[in-house]
Each structure stands twice: as C-alpha cells, then as structure tokens.
Structure 1
Amino acid sequence: MIFLKDFLESAEAHYFVGYRVHYYLFTDQPEAVPNVKLGEERKLIVRKVPSSNRWQDISMGRMAALEKLTEELDNEADYIFCFDVDAKFYARWSAETLSHMVAVIHPWFYNYPREKFTYERRPESEAFIPADEGDFYYAGGEFGGSVQEVHKLTKTCTEKQSIDRAKSIEALWHNESHLNRYFLYNKPSKLLSPEYLWRDISAGTNEVKVIRFTSVAKNMAEVRPNI
C-alpha cells in the first residue's frame, strides 16, 4: 500500500489523460487505500482479495483475479491493462499503446541474447519453453489489450497454473513464466519497449531516451513476505 498513492497520482498526470479510466485495485487491505483525487470520468474500484504469506502466491493469484474481472467487464470496457503498483508514471502514456494483445519487453532482458532469458526450462511444467524457441522475454508486471483477449490469456494461464499445482510444480517466475509461454504461441499484436516499464528511474541507459513508467526502488525484504 505504500506505493499506491504515488502510482495513482502519477497515473492521473500521465495515463490516458482525457479518457474514461477505471482503476481496479486488488488488495487484502481495502481500509488502507489512500484518498487520491481523481479526474472526471475516472474512478477507483477496490476489490478485496485474501492475504498470503508468500509473494509467489500473490503473483500467481493475479491471473485468476483478472480472469474473473474480464468476465465482468466484457460489455463495459474496451481495453484493460494490468500493472504492478510498486511503480510510477513519468511521461505520457496513451492511445499509442492500444491493441488486441499488448506485451512489454522486460527491462532487464531487452538487450540479452535468447539463451540468457530466464524462461521455465523444465519440460514437466506447463510454462516450459524449449531452449531453441522464444522471441523476447516479456515482463509479467505489465500486459494488456482488449478485454476479450486478456480474458483468453488469463484463463489459459490460470488453467496452466492449476495443472502445474496438481503436479506440485511452481514455474520459475510464476505468472511471468506462464505469460511468456502464452505469448510464445499467441503473439502479441503490439510490443512496447522498456520505456513503458523501466527498472528504476535512476538506472541510466543509452537506449531508452524517455522513461514513461518505471518500478520504484525498494527494499524487497520490507515489501515481500517470505523473501
């Protein structure tokens, strides 16, 4: 919850400004949600979810929560994006990002060769990607697209996670591993550069000239259970 106020205030300044936007927040602490002034036709809807002692379970629970949400929004919204809230907007983010299925290149792997990607390599996992396959390494902390396409994605990933769970398997990077597997065989119609999800505003680079959205620096031991 310590990141939410900055996330929302920065989104109000940069994210689809002038458009109708509804933020859906999934949290186990709805009473702690800060009061942030939102613009016209913009509102925050809070959904309570169970707490967890493992950050891995929080990560993997995202797909099931989004699958249910996209079912509800089928006739109410055109597009949906999923974000981690331990991040902040710094520049314009708008209609240029819209497409049927949108992925973002992971900011740590955008200039790495494929053999360095941290795909799930165990064949027994439903997230398995063979060593000679794969186009990009996609970030699990951000994806989106039409409500219908995101529903297909989240439904598939939820089902694949359930199959793994029944075999006592946990993919290497949890929902991110399953997301990368999905995108391997269901190519994104739009691919965003790391300027749309950078690793830290203070992490300089020669390639990324404008940082639009970035993770914020944090002490993982303070914000993640069981680290």
Structure 2
Amino acid sequence: MKLDRIFIFFILLLLGILFYWVCYLGYNQESYRKQQTQTTDPSIVKNILMSEEKHKNLGLQSSPGFLYSQPSLLVGSRTDVVSVTPWLAPIVWEGTFDSSLIDSMYKKKNITIATTVFALGKYTRFLKEFLESAEQHYFVGYRVRYYLFTDRPEEVPEIKLGEEHYLTILKVPSMDRWQDISMGRMEILEKLTKSELASEADYIFCLDVDAKFYGPWGVETLGRLVAVIHPWFYGYPRDQFTYERRPESQAFIPAGEGDYYYTAAAFGGTFKEVHELTKYCREQQSIDASKATEAIWHDESHLNKYLLYNKPSKLLSPEYLWRDISMRTSQVKVIRLSHVAKNNEEVRQNA
C-alpha cells in the first residue's frame, strides 16, 4: 500500500509540473505576440499586407462566358517555327497566342508597365517617331510610365500621350562614345530598378530609342525575365553568334555553349529580375574595365552571358525587334518594333 501511495504521489507531481509548463509557455507566447503587434512599425505591416495582397493576384483568371477559339494539342497555327525552348519557356510569335483572351485576363490585374529609353546626343532625333508610334501600338489600354534619360531635355518633343500614359524626363551627363552610353545605362537601370520608382510599376521594359513601332506590342510579352531574339542571328548556328570569345573578358562564352543570341536593344521582366540582370552586367563591365578590357559588343555581350546561365522565362521572336533595312522573311508575319534606317557613323559621333 505504501508503494502505491508513493507511485500515485509522483504521478500527480509530474502532472502538476507538466500543467505549469503548458500554462507558462502559453502565456509567454501570447505575451510575445501582443508585444510584437504593439511594437511593429506600421509601415512594415502595411508593406507586408500589400505584398500578400499582390501575390494573391499573380495568377491569370478568365471570365465565364468569354468566348475564344478552342486551343488544340494536335494542330498548331505555326508549324514553321519553334514556339518553346528546351527549358519550356514560350517563344512568342504571331499566331501562338490569343490577344483578346490574354487582354481579358490582364485587364483584371490593373498593372503598370515602366519603360526606359535613353536618348543622348544626336539620338534625341529619334524620340518623336519612337514615342508617337509607341502611343499607337505599345500596351494600348494599359498604364505605362516612360522614363526618358537624356542629356538634352530641351530637345524632347511634346507628344500627346494616351490615357494613363506618363513621361518622366531624367537628365544624365553627356558621353563622348556611344559604347559608353550603351554600357553606362546598365548602372543607371540597376539604380532605377532598386529605387522608389520600382513601386510605381509591376513590369519594366528597356528599349532602344532609334526604333519605331509598326504593330501591337501587348501583354503577351510580360514575364518574369523576358529576352528578345536578335534579328540578325535567329536562324544561325551558335558557332556564328557574335558572343565574346576572348577568355580575358568577363563576357566570355566558350565554344560549344549558347542557346540563342539576344539583343540588348529590348529586354524586360519584373523589377527584381531586371535589377539582377543589370547589376550583373554593371559588375562584369567594371571588372573588364579594371583590366583595360572591353567586351566585343559591350553590354550586349554581358547580357548574353547572363541569360545563358540565367534562363529567361519568356522569349520574344524577331517580330519584336526587326530592322528597317532587312527584308521580311516568311517566319516574321508581323513587324512590331524595328530599328530605323540611319547612318550609324554619323549619329554616333559626339553622341
């Protein structure tokens, strides 16, 4: 009997200790939670809630009753081109998407697209045609914020912008060499995509100013990291790409490697992804400069190195950057944006 009483006593003692710790821990956790709620910066809470709300709307939703052509797994509208990469990223060509369906889904998201353009020196002469054609074809019906970097703000023409299209002019120092302009923009874009301006838009595209829009450029182009296939090399084997082949440059790509050759005249994506790309290019250019080296095609060489090992989530076909001096091929059904014909030697002098 005595042993039974001792056993019961120890059982009750253990239960009492367990009950105490449960109550103690519960109280302290609740106290800690209340303390955190009271001391958290309201702006941090607001940013967290905004981030959560934004992520709820990442998916694309279609509306009941919206009619469009039935997609097929057996017959495609484009059998003359490849429309997906080996890593399963789409390659956008005319006939591979339904613009009315995509518009109906993106209209619900209330998105803003930032667009950067650099017009230094004589390149201001291209601004009028670029902006006027953009207002006819570029993200029509969506909120667009143009960020124009120029050393000659007095030469920026007055352009009538569409509804919810805005133009911000940002003055930058003049540069003598066009190569310096090309490479210097990566540092500017790196800072822009990390600045407070990044909160004003959902996506960003970086486009050359010496170009003109001829056809619609819309939300079919949006993605996490978007690259445009260069119109000169889209049908060439990789050993004919003008990659940087000198090992002394940070842009070096060994023979036998490469996917596509991408243009630096047009690229985009989310602010986070474009920030990482431009930061990489700026860092690699700085390393080259410290060794008195300059990649063969400057920022474009570094961009191709980055995109080789950081695969883009979407590729745009040469429809999205053609050349006015090139004849249209059977694969290019619609020319959407094209570099205008010009005297490169003349326009690049004292740029």
2:226 is the alignment partner of 1:102: yes
Cα offsets for 1:151-202 (capped at 9, x unmatched)? 0100111011101100100000000000000001100000000000001176
Q: CA deviation at 1:74?
A: 2.9
The one-letter code sitting in structure 2 at the alignment partner of 1:68 is K
Task: Look up the match of 1:176.
Answer: 300
* Larger RCO of the pair (alpha carbons < 8 Å, separation 6+): 1
Task: Look up the match of 2:271.
Answer: 147
Q: CA deviation at 1:50?
A: 1.2
Cα offsets for 1:113-156 (capped at 9, x unmatched)? 10000000111111110011000000010100001110010011
Task: Look up the match of 1:30.
Answer: 153
Structure 1 contact 201–211 (Cα < 8 Å) conserved: no
Q: Which moved more, 1:169-178 or 1:201-210?
A: 201-210
1:19 is matched with which residue: 123, 137, 142? 142
Pairing of 1:1-227 with structure 2 (within 5 A): 1-72=124-195, 73-200=197-324, 203-225=327-349
Distance 1:218 1:120 in 2: 26
Distance 2:214 2:350 in 1: 31
Q: CA deviation at 1:49?
A: 1.3
Q: CA deviation at 1:95?
A: 0.5
The one-letter code sitting in structure 1 at the alignment partner of 2:236 is Y
Structure 1 contact 201–214 (Cα < 8 Å) conserved: no
Identity %: 71
Distance 1:225 1:201 in 2: 21
Structure 1 contact 127–160 (Cα < 8 Å) conserved: yes
Distance 2:290 2:148 in 1: 29
How many residues align? The count is: 227
The one-letter code sitting in structure 2 at the alignment partner of 1:43 is Y
Helix, strand or coil: the match of 1:187?
A: coil
Structure 1 contact 114–136 (Cα < 8 Å) conserved: yes
Q: CA deviation at 1:47?
A: 1.1
Q: CA deviation at 1:226?
A: 6.6
Structure 1 contact 71–151 (Cα < 8 Å) conserved: yes
Q: CA deviation at 1:75?
A: 2.1
Gaps of 5+ in 1: none
Q: Which moved more, 1:193-202 or 1:121-130?
A: 193-202
Distance 1:198 1:189 in 2: 21
Q: CA deviation at 1:53?
A: 1.2
Gaps of 5+ in 2: 1-123
TM, length-normalised to structure 2: 0.63
TM, length-normalised to structure 1: 0.97
Distance 1:121 1:206 in 2: 32
Distance 2:205 2:331 in 1: 25
The one-letter code sitting in structure 2 at the alignment partner of 1:28 is D
The one-letter code sitting in structure 2 at the alignment partner of 1:160 is Q
The one-letter code sitting in structure 1 at the alignment partner of 2:277 is L
CA RMSD of aligned residues (A): 1.2
Distance 1:74 1:28 in 2: 23
Cα offsets for 1:29-55 (capped at 9, x unmatched)? 111100000011111111111111111
Distance 1:21 1:159 in 2: 29
Highest Rg: 1 or 2?
2
Q: CA deviation at 1:222?
A: 1.9
The one-letter code sitting in structure 2 at the alignment partner of 1:33 is V
